[in-house]
Amino acid sequence: MPPFLPRKRFSSEDPPPAKRQAQDPAQPFHIDDSDSDSDSSLSDVPEESADGNITPQAPRASDGDEEEEDDDIDWEDAIDTKTTSATTPTLAVPEIQDLELTLDREETHVSDILDGKKGPSKIERLIRTQTHCMHVQCLLFHNAIRNAWINDKKVHEILRQKLPDSIQKEVKKWRIAAGIEIPERKPEPPKSKKKGKKARKKQDWDEESQRLEPGQPDMSGGDPIIPLLKVLAAYWRKQFRITAPGLRKHGYRSVSSIEAILKEFREGDHDPELHGERIANLEEFRSVAERMQGSRDVGAQLFTALIRALDLEGRLVGSLQPLGFGWTRAEIATPPKTENAEKADSDVEAGGFDSETGSEQVRPKANKGHAQYDKDLPFPIYWTEVASPITHQIIPVDPLVLPNPVATTPDFQAAFEPRGAKAERAKQVICYVLAHSADGTAKDVTTRYLRRRTWPGKTKGFRIPVEKIPQPGRRGQYFEYDWFRRIMRGYERNPDRKTKVDEVEDAGDLQPKQPEKKKATQTADTLQSLRQSTEFVLERFLRREEALRPGAEPVRTFTAGRGAKAKEEPVFRRADVVKCMSAESWHKEGRQIQAGAVPLKRVPIRAVTLIRKREVDELQHETGEKPMQGLYALDQTEFIIPPPIEDGRIPKNDYGNIDCFVPSMVPRGAAHVPLPGTVRICKKLGIDYAEAVTGFEFGSKMAVPVIQGVVVAAENEDLLKDAWRIEAAEKRKREELKAEKRILQTWRKFLFGLRIAERVREEYGGDPDADRERDSHNPFAIRKKHQEVQGSDEGHEGAEDPFEESYNPIDHGGGFLLPGEGDDVDDGLIVEEDHDRTSKGPSAKHLSHDSVGEDEESEGLSPPISIPEPDEDDESGYVPLTRNTRRRRRGG
DNA sequence: CTGTGCAATACCACTTTGCCCCCC
DNA sequence: AGGGGGGCTTTGTGGTATTGCACA
């Protein structure tokens, strides 16, 4: 939304936006930071709130007509039961209806887009982006929960006990080689804390030992952890059985098919093949650890647990597979029909629905026991990163999917990056790769798995890119907004707790490499390479306001097109391109065209305002051709230096004001006082002035000057400023008084209302049940109840509330003014005084900022400091305060 | 397979001096 | 009574970037 500038005149507190502000630089998605505590103990989460293994769902927003009725009912229910404020429901309902319309349209549009008939609209793009962002965050949290489970001591115990002797031996061998144990010692059950390790290490040093250097790692055969990891990975591959489908990206589906899936998910029994694997809580996680079976994903998670059980630093790595935000084929769900036909015997796809009919496909259930899940996914989605305790290097390990399970070199690491036709068919992507550590923190390690560690690489189009927001007022300077980084802020490890491993990888693996420059400059020119070149340019690429410096020589020639269509074009240096502007534009920069300068370029005049348009049309009519204007380069212009003022007289332009676009346009001997309301003061003081035009506003086919204060002679500057300060102080005082009066009136109205209510109750009595019924909609009654429940301990707040039950209404007129009261300062205040006496409430006289400010409900009703005379006298005598009288009063 | 040209689309930047009503 | 301040309103168009597609 462009900044809304209601005023042409800016007050000093309200500086004008620098020229045209960039479109709303606000982030496309608002993320609530409030819960982003990186140290929040994720292990506290008792179970997954929603099954993370549900197949990715299409945006909620594209739900179809059938859902809408439900939505309405939900909303109404919510309003009835949850809303305490009376304003919310009335506001909310029409908004929902608006949304419905949009959604209906969206549905038809999506089908058009899928047919390639139409591009997506802005709102459709937004829905996809939001869906993507939401999905990313859900996946991220899912992984964080799994990571917390992986820390479970019982899971560790289960996995350790399952290790056969041969593996135990390998572990011991490694511990010796790594210098953690000395050979003589019997292998102890590994301690889980590093502290223990260090303590033991020290002990080893102290002890007499046969080994020359017992605590030193043996690096003679490379890092000894690598053979251990290889053994462990081989063991895992052999032992772990893949019995369920894992997470995967399906893409966006038709509403009907999603609804069918949802319906079955809610109503039917849980079918892992259809709804994805479900591990509801830690207990079930322990159970799959015991059985050593599950999806590939769980396999990788349990392997990470095994690594941690062996006292190694292991991270759970997840390559998120979120729904995308683009409109390519990769985002459309592939109907499983063909796949089923292809490999009906081997592959069972989770969520196999015919997107056309929404009916469930006949699945090869007979083969369930032998189904090889996710065989069509050539790359892992979860794996493990192990930190070598010796080198502090990270070694990725994928025991279940890749042919080479232990990725020791960058080449092997790049094998994790999904690529090729098979990955494309399976919709496997790389966009966000996160490593979750044992301490609950997570880290973006995508760079490690990108081929050549070059951004954006394969993440292009699947990961929200860093947004460059131009800084207002500074050309060429950008503020970089990285949505995902902001999301990660809640998960990242505190900078002051960074480990050695962090240090090593931040400087190495995670350091993105600059894309290799495309071989020097002299590779055969293509139109595209020239278009993107920062060094060379073709004349036809020059923008409207760009021109070649006079005398610029072409560097070489470029032949575009082939055969008969071939065309030779000169290639120029970008350095020879200069930016040009019209005389008017230069004027706005405080510069004018030098005498006799010849424009470097002539372009058609762009007229926006009606007047200019008319002028241009007339000219075109006369001459028969488009009127042109000349553009000049910077070196053809000079500063506008207005002549110094004489006798305190300020020169004015045709419109009676002075152009003040830049400070240099203020004449010598004059001063710009950009304060509001200075015109009147100047008139009063009798000094010559001119209103200062600092820019223009455009709207309704008009250009409106923005006026900021005045320009006066320098000798009058202080005089004017002083006068302005005095006036401003007076004005502030007036406003304070006015506000005070308003506040008193509000209090007064409030009290009258209460009196009326009280009197009605007194006179006509009240059925307590009916009262309660009515009170359920009365915000004050609700608040009162709330206080009774909450604050009954001391009654502190309740007692201070002048509208409490204890307030005694007798003899206050019950909403009617008693004789003689009306001409009192404010009858409401008398009540207050009485109240003060009885229940220690704040008396109006003592109402101070603090006493009322404490009461949250009174916000905005800042209390009186002194009591002004009311200037209304219409309330003397018995004047019932009815709606009519109130309206009359408000009306004036 | 890659580069080019075209078309469709979205978004951005440029544009340069009122009018009327109500309150003070 | 009249002067001045504030509210009104969110333009329109050409250029440019981007994307997808057809074709060489």
3-state secondary structure A371-418: CCCCCCCCCCCEEEEEECCCCCCEEEECCCCCCCCECCCHHHHHCCCC
A656-712 residue pLDDT tens: 888 888 888 889 999 988 888 888 888 888 888 888 888 887 766 677 888 888 889
Distance CA A11, CA A8 (A): 10
Q: How far is the CA of A118 from the C1' of C23 (A)?
A: 22
Greater model confidence, A806 or A544: A544
The answer to whether strand B lies under 7 Å from the CB of residue A22 is: yes
Asked if strand B comes closer than 7 Å to A584 Cβ, the answer is yes
> 């003081």: which residue's tokens?
A685
Q: d(Cα A318, Cα A142) in Å, to the nearest integer?
A: 10
- Please tell me the predicted confidence (pLDDT) of residue A53: 37
Of A299, A301, A300, A242, nearest in space to A273 by CA: A242
A612 touches strand B (CB under 7 A): yes
Reference A181, options A221, A222, A224, A152; nearest CA is: A224
Nucleotides of B under 7 A from a protein CB: 3-5, 8-18
A125 touches strand B (CB under 7 A): yes
Please provide the CATH number assigned to the domain covering A650-732. Answer: 3.30.70.2460
Banded model confidence at residue A766, pLDDT cuts 50, 70, 90: low
Tokens of A370: 């032998």
* Protein residue nearest nucleotide B8, by CA to C1': A119
Report if CB A861 to strand B is under 7 Å: no
User: In this predicted structure, which of A61-65, A140-144, A645-649, A726-730 has the lowest mean pLDDT?
Assistant: A61-65
Q: How far apart are CA A666 and CA A691, in angstroms?
A: 12
What span, in angstroms and rounded, lies between the C-alpha atoms of A229 and A312? Answer: 11
Contacts (Cβ under 8 Å, ≥6 apart) of A264:
A274, A275, A360
Closest CA to A285 of A57, A55, A40, A43: A43
**CA(A324)–C1'(C20) in Å?**
18
Confidence of residue A516 (pLDDT cuts 50, 70, 90): very low
What is the share, in percent, of chain A residues with pLDDT greater than 90?
11
Nucleotide nearest to A607 (CA to C1'): B15
Tell me, what amino acid is at A334?
A: T
pLDDT surpassing 50 at residue A136: yes
Query: CA A522, C1' B4: Å apart?
Result: 20
CA A827 to each of CA A11, A817, A852: distance values in angstroms, whole numbers, following the listed order: 40, 8, 19
Question: Please, where in chain A does CATH 3.90.260.10 lie?
Answer: 125-181+217-333+371-509
What is the number of residues in chain A? 892
Mean pLDDT value of segment A761-770: 75
Inform me whether the pLDDT recorded for A92 exceeds 60.
no
Specify the pLDDT at position A761: 92
Res A109: pLDDT: 40
Does strand B come within 7 Å of the CB of A607? yes
Region A462-467 average pLDDT: 76
The pLDDT score that the predictor gives to residue A767 is 62
Of all residues in chain A, the percent with pLDDT exceeding 70 is 58
Judge whether residue A54 has pLDDT over 80: no
3-state secondary structure of A29: coil
Residues A663, A708: Cα–Cα separation, whole Å: 13
Q: Locate CATH 3.30.70.2460 in chain A.
A: 650-732
Six token digits for residue A634: 């910077």
Is A526's CB less than 7 Å from nucleic acid strand B?
yes
* Residues whose C-beta lies under 7 Å from strand C: A 1-2, 4, 6-9, 116, 326-328, 543-546, 562-563, 603-604, 606, 608, 676-677, 679-680, 683, 698-701, 704
**Structure-block tokens of residue A175:** 């511990």
Give the integer Cα–Cα distance in Å for A521 and A616.
45
Q: Which range in A210-219, A505-514, A651-660 is most confidently predicted, on average pLDDT?
A: A651-660
Assign domain A125-181+217-333+371-509 one CATH number from 3.90.260.10, 3.30.70.100, 3.40.50.1220, 3.40.640.10.
3.90.260.10
Q: Evaluate if residue A280 carries a pLDDT over 70.
A: yes
Of A60, A131, A137, A130, which Cα lies nearest the Cα of A99?
A60
pLDDT at A794 over 60: no
Looking at residue A885, its pLDDT comes to 26
Mean pLDDT within A358-379: 54
- pLDDT for residue A216: 67
For the CA atoms of chain A, what is the radius of gyration? Answer: 38
pLDDT of res. A700: 65
For residue A822, give both structure tokens.
């009306």
| Nucleotides of strand C lying closer than 7 angstroms to a protein CB | 4-12, 14-16, 19-21, 24
Asked whether the predicted pLDDT for residue A373 surpasses 90, the reply is no
Q: What is the pTM of this model?
A: 0.48
Most confident stretch, A168-182, A209-223, A382-396: A382-396
- CA of A696: nucleotide with nearest C1': B16
CA distance A650 to A528: 55
Kindly state the average pLDDT of the residues A193-209. Answer: 39
CB burial class (10 A; 0-12, 13-18, 19+) of residue A50? exposed
From first CA to last CA, the distance across chain A in angstroms is 38
Identity (one letter) of the amino acid at A181? E
Amino acid A689 CA to nucleotide B17 C1' distance, rounded Å:
18
Cα–Cα dist A641/A665, whole Å: 6
Q: How many Å does it take to go from CA A131 to C1' C19?
A: 22
